[in-house]
Structure 1
Amino acid sequence: MAMALDRYAASAPVTGGLPLLDEPGFWAAHLADLSDGIPAEAFGVDAADAGEALERLHDRAAWPVFTVPLAGDFAIVVHYNSGEEFTTTDYFLTHRDWPDSRAIVLASDDQDRIGPGLCWPELAALLPVPAKAAGVTDPHARLLLLLPVLGDADAPTEAVEAVAEALVAQGAPPDCEALAAQLLEGHPMWGAETWTYDADERSWICDGEHSPRQEPLGERLPVVQRSALGAALGGRSLEREGSRRK
């Protein structure tokens, strides 16, 4: 049973979102902000299916929540929140042993606009599924579900290829490279930003003014947990050539 994080009212009508992943218009709806101006047909669905899926995601009576399990007992929770005026989508980094109050906000498209929360090397490292994990376990679904958190001005060519492959796996036509490239331009609230790797802190740092990643991720965590988090996000092995070293 899905539970609301304690930053929401205990009575929040939270519901598990996994069944929605099989809805034909889900990806066109979930990625609507990133694909503005592109018709739903580019995702391999019609506008009616996309509209119906969007209504499900924005239902005030049922707030979908998705859990993307990571290594080391971490997870990213995607939480739709439909208030009286509008729906926002929040992305939290959590750990099995943390109280909700310690969840780290990676991105949120509310009025405060928080993001981006991941660079491409980190997102690519999150696609493999930990053993015996529960939640969103399909690598293609994991990539597309977390794509709004991404905002990386230096995403490589293989990023377009990976996103296109994920789209095709979820029903998009084979010639979807243009759609994949637009999705990688970043959420319109924060766009694509420059990231550098701080070797001393063992963390990627984002230059974006709205990014929560202007400081090392998890710098206040216990050493063991911070090390495990670094491993879950790919560690130093994914450092880009020429990135900053302090």
Structure 2
Amino acid sequence: MFTYRPPSDPVQILYQDADLVVIDKPSGLLSAPGRGEDKQDCALSRCRLTVPGALLVHRLDMDTSGIMVLALNPTSHRHLSQQFEQRRIGKTYLAWVEGSIAEDSGKIDLPLLADWPNRPKQKIDRENGKPSLTRWQVLEHRAGATLLKLTPESGRTHQLRVHCEAIGHPVLGDRLYGSLKSRGRARRLQLHAQLLTFDHPRTAEPSEFLSPGDLTGPASHDTLSPISAP
């Protein structure tokens, strides 16, 4: 049974003005409150401790770290939400995945659908799934693993995690997808939202925010410590 144990790492504020705040969410912290009193600690609630009135615009998976933008008034919330809905937001992720990928770059074009009997998992469904496209580029190889730059052109739930598993290279440390081996090669999910670009809701100027992240990369094959799914 899954027990929520949010990290003590602070939610770092990277930028703030009268309309929005950009934060760096640590891995293991919910983006928004979940069901039950034990799941109220989240990125939104922590942000509101220092920035009252912050409004959620989008989410990152609990175990994914990195850039999030929150609105500070209804007008900004509407503008930013529309950019996400219309796919005008630029998003780049870093991910350490199992195995060595020979090609330099490529794309994964596989439709996704909720796997209802196994919630919250998602699955590839070529007949009923929603179109989902991820572009990838190899950045580094190390210890039988590959560091990828991932650029999703759609924003499906668990898209990057399912797409990487579908091509035989699951994200290291992923408790929902992949194998016992790939889960055990990192203490946390090796997926980080590195870059976020959007038009500022007040000025319409292109805005870009970066978080280098602290992905540790793979443990060696001879020091595996399997992580079971929640």
TM superposition score normalised by structure 2? 0.30
TM superposition score normalised by structure 1? 0.28
Structure with greater proportional helix content:
1
